Copies of this chain bind each other. A is one copy, B any other.
């Protein structure tokens, strides 16, 4: 069965986020004074072939840990969903 996996990669709390800080600095001048605490992260989507959702999630987590996130400064979370046979 094919599963669609979504991996979110976020900087750990306390790790400096220059991209988020730069966006946040621009906000008041652009009329977004109601927005604060901007944190930037990454999102990966891919398709995994596995027998069941638990195996697909484990494979996606392994990939996230080995390739997509730097575990020293980033944390990741994984969601998997069964792909519809006829595509979406």
A contact residues vs B (CB 8 Å cutoff): 5, 8-10, 20, 23-24, 26-27, 30, 32, 34-50, 59-60, 63, 66-68
Contact = CB atoms under 8 A, between A and B. Distances in A.
9 A-B pairs closest in CB distance? A41-B43, A37-B47, A43-B43, A38-B46, A34-B49, A39-B45, A36-B47, A35-B46, A35-B48
5 contacts: A10-B45, A32-B63, A34-B49, A35-B63, A38-B46
Given A40-B42, A41-B45, 6 more contacts: A23-B44, A34-B49, A35-B46, A37-B47, A39-B46, A40-B44
- Tell me whether chain A's interface is mostly helix, strand or loop, or mixed: strand
